[in-house]
């Protein structure tokens, strides 16, 4: 479960709570350190009872429920964060992670497309959009999303892999080979996996 969360989520949580009392920030770090996800969720709920419109506490609540495996509740919390802070890409990112984790690629696509209307997005959000389209067997929009991720970070090896996989499925051999060549430089192990998907001449 935790592998689905972006690296450095805890420090991001604390950065979103810069305006909070230092005691609250320390308490979050303490509960996270003990992996007391129920305690963290309760702490978030106590603060939300004082201010339901605080997007940062919805973020903390969503994080706690994600780590505790309460996926549906986490989605609800991230949805509230997005509603209250639509210009914060982290909320969209975590919501899309949670939707993909619960095998809802169509909702993830809608969420990420909305994110890119509200924010510039990140290489990760564009990559997740590509992966969500791939799960729906929609390779052309997946290619467009992977390319956007690569435009933002041309060393994003998993985006190159997704791009090559989509080209393979569409039997676009010359583009597949160019993608494979780029991936060989970035990640030989991923390149070997991609080479196994090389499209055959028809």
Q: DSSP class of residue 138?
A: -
Cβ contact 118:87 at 8 Å: yes
CA 98, 101, 106: angle at the middle one, nearest 5? 80
Q: Which CATH architecture has domain 1-104?
A: Alpha Horseshoe (1.25)
DSSP per residue, 101-118: HTT-HHHHHHHHHHHHHH
The pLDDT of residue 201 is 73
Q: Where do we find the tokens 């903390």?
A: 60
Cβ contact 123:131 at 8 Å: no
List the domain boundaries for the chain: 1-104, 122-202
* Residue 85 φ then ψ, to 5°: -135, 70
Which class does domain 122-202 fall in?
mainly alpha
The pLDDT of residue 18 is 74
Q: What is the pLDDT along the chain (202 residues), one digit of tens a residue?
A: 334 455 555 667 777 777 778 898 889 889 988 999 999 999 999 999 999 999 999 999 999 999 999 999 999 999 999 999 999 999 999 999 999 999 999 999 999 999 999 998 999 999 999 999 999 999 999 999 999 999 999 999 999 999 999 999 999 999 999 999 999 999 999 999 999 999 987 6
DSSP per residue, 25-82: HHHHHHHHHTT-HHHHHHHHHHHHHH-TT-HHHHHHHHHHHHHHT-HHHHHHHHHHHH
**Does the fold of domain 122-202 match that of domain 1-104?**
yes
CA–CA separation, 75 and 96 (whole Å): 9
């Amino acid at each position: 479960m935790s592998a689905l969360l972006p690296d450095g989520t805890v420090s991001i949580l604390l950065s979103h709570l810069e305006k909070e009392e230092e005691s609250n920030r320390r308490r979050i770090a303490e509960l996270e350190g003990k992996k007391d996800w129920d305690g963290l969720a309760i702490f978030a709920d106590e603060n939300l009872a004082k201010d339901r419109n605080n997007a940062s506490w919805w973020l903390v609540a969503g994080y706690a429920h994600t780590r505790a495996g309460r996926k549906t509740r986490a989605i609800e919390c991230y949805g509230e964060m997005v509603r209250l802070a639509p210009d914060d890409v982290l909320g969209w990112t975590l919501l899309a992670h949670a939707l993909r984790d619960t095998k809802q690629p169509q909702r993830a696509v809608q969420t990420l497309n909305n994110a890119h209307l509200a924010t510039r997005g990140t290489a990760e959000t564009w990559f997740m959009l590509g992966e969500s389209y791939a799960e729906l067997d929609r390779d052309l929009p997946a290619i467009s999303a992977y390319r956007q991720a690569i435009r933002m970070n041309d060393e994003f090896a998993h985006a190159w892999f997704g791009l090559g996989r989509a080209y393979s499925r569409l039997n676009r051999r010359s583009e597949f080979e160019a993608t494979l060549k780029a991936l060989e430089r970035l990640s030989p192990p991923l390149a070997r996996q991609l080479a196994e998907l090389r499209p055959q001449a028809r």
